Amino acid sequence: MKGIVLAGGTGSRLYPSTRSISKHLFPVYDKPMFYYPLSVLMTAGIREVLVVSNPDGLPLIQRVLGDGSALGMDIRYAVQTEPRGIAEALVIGRDHISGHRSALVLGDNMFHGEGLDGHLNRAASSTSGCTLFGCKVSDPRSYAVAGFGEGGAFTSLEEKPAAPKSDYAVAGLYFYDQDVVDIAMEVEPSGRGELEITDVNRAYLERGRAEFVTMANEVMWLDLGTEESLLEGGRYVSTMARDSGVRVACLEEIALRMGFIGVEECHRLGAEMANSPYGEYVMEAARRAAGLQQGAGV
């Protein structure tokens, strides 16, 4: 399975801050915003990732992640010259994902919680169709919204409807089978001139090959593209670090846990940032893992 992180767009909801820098580089407590969606793909076991971003943001993201080898990954990059819709990421990344199952995550989305790993593992192991995730929201008119029929069957998708059929919004995380490139290539621009991801997802739904997974209280989802949600995300990560000792979306720790890198590699990455609390956390994660290995007689 391969992954795409879409870190494009203009960030207009965060003007004037985003007039000089991509929102995906904004710090969310202790790390850049793009760490959070990338961590989701890593947790799903995906090691080959394409980052799609605008011409200004892409070199800066690449400066941080490089080719991904330090994390035991293969990370590549592609430019989205103008924001032409989420589904365009599938078109831009067609050579990357063609012939493979894939996952697309939006660069300003944060997911975290005890139930997340299970959801990701099930979606990643699915071999047919698409898997969409959703949460209840207070104002579904701002999102793509799922509709349900008798027995809770997933029956419809509407993009920012004036009269939503439910209060379940589709989150910015989508898992697809090998057919997604062909489907995305057939999508026509919407009235606002964009290739809508909802049209891709609706095509799967109309073929009876779409699953909608509701994420309840065990998973936190935030769209970090607004002033308030950006602050909320920072508070959440800060609280987790203070109260639980967990640094959400620590890429080095996830790479170690997933077996992408070993203890020595993880400790070295932490040592490179040793003057920061984040670097100390990464080194401690490596020390804990080494202790567990020794205790198990490895």
| Average confidence (pLDDT) over 23-47 | 97
- Strand locations in the chain (E): 2-7, 27-28, 31-32, 48-53, 74-79, 102-106, 109-112, 130-136, 144-148, 154-159, 168-176, 210-214, 220-223
Nearest to 134 by CA among 162, 151, 102, 156: 156
Question: What's the confidence (pLDDT) of residue 20?
Answer: 87
Q: Would the pLDDT of 294 be above 80?
A: no
pLDDT tens digits for 168-216?
999 999 999 999 999 999 999 998 889 999 999 999 999 999 999 998 7
Q: Would the pLDDT of 101 be above 90?
A: yes
Question: What's the confidence (pLDDT) of residue 298?
Answer: 42
Q: Would the pLDDT of 120 be above 60?
A: yes
Helix (H, G, I), strand (E, B) or coil at 221: strand
pLDDT tens digits for 225-242?
899 999 999 999 999 999
Question: What's the confidence (pLDDT) of residue 62?
Answer: 97
Q: Would the pLDDT of 297 be above 70?
A: no
Quote the mean pLDDT of the chain.
94
CB 40 within 8 A of CB 105: yes
Question: What's the confidence (pLDDT) of residue 18?
Answer: 86
pLDDT confidence band for 295 (50 / 70 / 90): low
Q: Which amino acid is at 123?
A: A
Question: What's the confidence (pLDDT) of residue 291?
Answer: 85
